[in-house]
A and B are shown apart, each in its own frame.
Chain A
Amino acid sequence: MFEPPVQRLVDELARLPGIGRKSAQRLAFHLLNAEETDAVRLADAITSMRREVRLCTRCFNVTAEEECSICRDLRRDTSIVCVVERAQDIPVIEKTGEFSGRYHVLGGAISPIEGIGPDQLRARELLDRIDAENITEVIVAANPTLEGDATAMFLARMLKPLGVKVTRLASGLPVGGDLDYADEITLGRALSGRKEL
């Protein structure tokens, strides 16, 4: 046990994902020994994030405004929407520089095993956006897992009757990978999704 103010910080840090008691102690003592301004800056970053950040009213990305910067950007193609499971997936796709449409954060994936269905996701909100924003293509960028695939199949079933083109991110071999190590499922998908040169 440490003095109460230190112990309190250790306890709080240890509640964070991936932080054990030992790491929490190390972080707490680092902050104790650091410049006071550093510790205040960290505390301020945490409180202002909690105070200012909310969900974009259109796509449910995290934002400090009514709508996120991507939805507000007039240069983006509004007819294409990329559906992701979590807001953290958006920067990853943005980094590719290959996508110029808008996003829709579902808030998870359909899980047949855990009984997570479309009602627990923001599928209805996506449906509402189709007409309102004249969306012609939906790219499903859910993880290439059983749950992600189930989500993609559900969205295709929901949106195709409306005349919306529904596509899924291709899955296959990672760039720089070795064919020797590829598993049958991944290699099978790479073969069925092969491209003509």
Chain B
Amino acid sequence: MALYNDQGIVLRSYPFGEADKVVIILSPNRGKLRTVAKGVRKTKSRFGGRLETLTHVDLVLYEGKNLDMITQVSIIEAFPTLRQDLDRVVAAGTMIEVADFVAQEDEPTLRLFLLLQRGLRALDGGDVHPDLLTGYLLKAAEIIGVAPALTHCAGCGATDGLTRFSFAAGGVLCDRCRTPGSYALREGLTGYLAAIATSDLSALPEPDLSMSRESLGVTRRFLEYHLERGLDSMALLDA
């Protein structure tokens, strides 16, 4: 039992006991942290709004048997612009949901943490790039180890004749490797996705609005297939 310092992004929280909350935090050093914040639901709590979802915080924690107790917290980055726009909040919700599902307790997740931080920063900036969420999901897939093959056939490695796409096979397929259930993507879509996948979230390629919707749809279904679960937050994007 000891005090320790850490930092992380608040993924979500839920009421616990009379006035406490269990706060789930993504730490770059310890992975998913399950913590308890005493009295945080009271209006005069010393934590105030510091432990709201989507806040990057610096923490002092007391190691507990099940949950570590937060004893001090200060804000590193609050992403204030993001919070004032419903569409940005919904997109941030998807980023958080993926990070929450993928991260494990006691497993350092620096890459996932940095991805989430960059994603939230991009949502907190000026205009939001139409392919930001697609880029985030593609990079999350890469971190998990299921990045789709987009520039070569997932079956044989061929680089031309890539006409089909298969979730199960892990990306694009050439005519020779096509499997039942694989389907044709519209022309140029794999190249469009590949350009997004290889760009930084803050420097995504020039968007093509006719491609954006479909590229997000394909990426979403690809990730859902490999995570073996639906992304609940994306239902709000559809609404």
Contact = CB atoms under 8 A, between A and B. Distances in A.
Contacts, number: 83
Contact of B80 (A147, A176, A182, A188): A188
B235 to A, nearest CB: 5
Interface stretch (A33-41, A49-57, A150-158): A150-158
A114 B14 CA distance: 11
A184 B75 contact: yes
B236 A149 contact: no
Contact of A185 (B78, B86, B93, B100): B78
A153 B86 contact: yes
A157 B239 contact: no
Nearest to A119: B239
A111 B100 CA distance: 15
A122 to B, nearest CB: 16
B44 A110 contact: no
Contacts of A181: 46, 48
Contacts of B47: 183
10 contacts: A110-B236, A113-B11, A113-B96, A114-B12, A144-B49, A182-B48, A183-B47, A184-B50, A185-B52, A185-B75
A195 B8 CA distance: 35
A18 B17 contact: yes
A174 interface: yes
Nearest to B87: A153
Contact of B44 (A114, A176, A184): A176
Nearest to A183: B48
Interface string A71-115: 000000000000000000000000000000000000000111111
Given A119-B239, A174-B43, A113 B100 contact: yes
Contacts of A114: 12, 232-233
A4 interface: no
A150 B89 contact: yes
A173 to B, nearest CB: 9
Quick one: which of B11, B44, B46, B236 has the most chain A CB within 10 A? B236
A177 B46 CA distance: 10
Interface of B: 11-12, 17-18, 43-44, 46-50, 52-55, 75, 78, 80, 83-86, 89-90, 92-94, 96-97, 100, 231-236, 239
Contacts of A185: 48-50, 52, 55, 75, 78, 80
Nearest to A184: B75
Interface residues of A, number: 29
B157 to A, nearest CB: 38
Given A113-B93, A145-B53, A154-B86, 14 more contacts: A18-B17, A113-B12, A113-B97, A115-B93, A115-B233, A115-B235, A147-B53, A149-B89, A174-B44, A181-B46, A184-B50, A185-B50, A185-B52, A185-B78
B239 A153 contact: no
B89 A112 contact: yes
Contact of B83 (A146, A174, A176, A184): A146
A143 B123 CA distance: 23
Contact of A115 (B78, B89, B92, B232): B232
Nearest to A18: B17
A11 B88 CA distance: 46
Nearest to B11: A113
B80 A146 contact: no
Report, nearest first, the 9 A-B pairs whose CB atoms are least far apart: A112-B93, A115-B232, A183-B48, A185-B49, A153-B86, A146-B53, A183-B50, A113-B93, A174-B43
Contacts of A112: 89-90, 92-94, 96, 233, 236
B118 to A, nearest CB: 19
A115 B52 contact: no
A154 B234 CA distance: 16
A118 B93 contact: no
B236 to A, nearest CB: 5
A147 B92 CA distance: 12
A100 to B, nearest CB: 23
Contacts of B75: 183-185
